[in-house]
């Protein structure tokens, strides 16, 4: 029962925290990424995931980490986004990686377009002094892409083996 609860709650809760943290602070903590990695390792062992499958999941995460750091080096994404995407890929492995990347790209594009529109209009006085809102509204400001990464992850997670094991 405790194992089922962990499968049902751990990953979604960490993804929700990542999205809210990125929205409010434009940062994704290394502790969050480490929690995702440790959570994967513990649940993989406790559910009896074969070592070969663990290595396949790790290779998917490593590939996303390498691509993410290349994108970070170009200045296209933040370092926290690269690490979050890699940790998420670790959970999904190869079977769900393409879907995750596709959803994250589409949601990230929609988020970026929405922020560009948001930045065209003056802020209402009631929220104009709220720090995180001002940061989002600033022309040329960043995009909290962790929101798109987390939303994509939460869309994919129900179709993964982690959820089918809990039934």
Taking Cα atoms as reference points, which of 137, 143, 118 lies closest to residue 23? 143
| Contact call for residues 112 and 143 (beta carbons, < 8 A) | yes
Residue 126: predicted pLDDT = 87
Residue 165: predicted pLDDT = 63
Rounded-to-integer distance, Cα 37 and Cα 117, Å: 36
pLDDT, tens only, 85-102: 999 999 999 999 999 999
**Token pair of 47 as six digits:** 């559910």
pLDDT, tens only, 101-124: 999 999 999 999 999 999 999 998
| Contact call for residues 65 and 83 (beta carbons, < 8 A) | yes
**Token pair of 36 as six digits:** 């995702």
pLDDT, tens only, 27-52: 999 999 999 999 999 999 999 999 99
Residue 5: predicted pLDDT = 84
Is the confidence at residue 26, as pLDDT, over 70?
A: yes
């Amino acid at each position: 029962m405790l194992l089922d609860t962990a499968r049902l709650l751990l990953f979604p809760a960490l993804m929700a925290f990542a999205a809210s943290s990125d929205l409010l602070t434009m940062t994704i903590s290394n502790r969050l990424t480490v929690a995702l990695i440790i959570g994967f390792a513990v649940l993989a062992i406790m559910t009896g995931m074969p070592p070969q499958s663990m290595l396949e999941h790790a290779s998917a995460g490593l590939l996303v980490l390498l691509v993410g750091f290349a994108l970070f080096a170009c200045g296209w994404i933040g370092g926290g986004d690269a690490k979050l995407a890699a940790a998420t890929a670790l959970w999904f492995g190869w079977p769900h990686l393409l879907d995750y990347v596709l959803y994250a790209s589409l949601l990230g594009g929609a988020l970026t377009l929405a922020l560009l529109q948001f930045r065209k209009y003056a802020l209402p006085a009631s929220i104009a002094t709220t720090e995180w809102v001002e940061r989002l509204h600033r022309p040329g400001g960043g995009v909290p892409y962790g929101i798109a990464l987390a939303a994509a992850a939460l869309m994919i997670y129900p179709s993964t083996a982690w959820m089918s094991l809990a039934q």
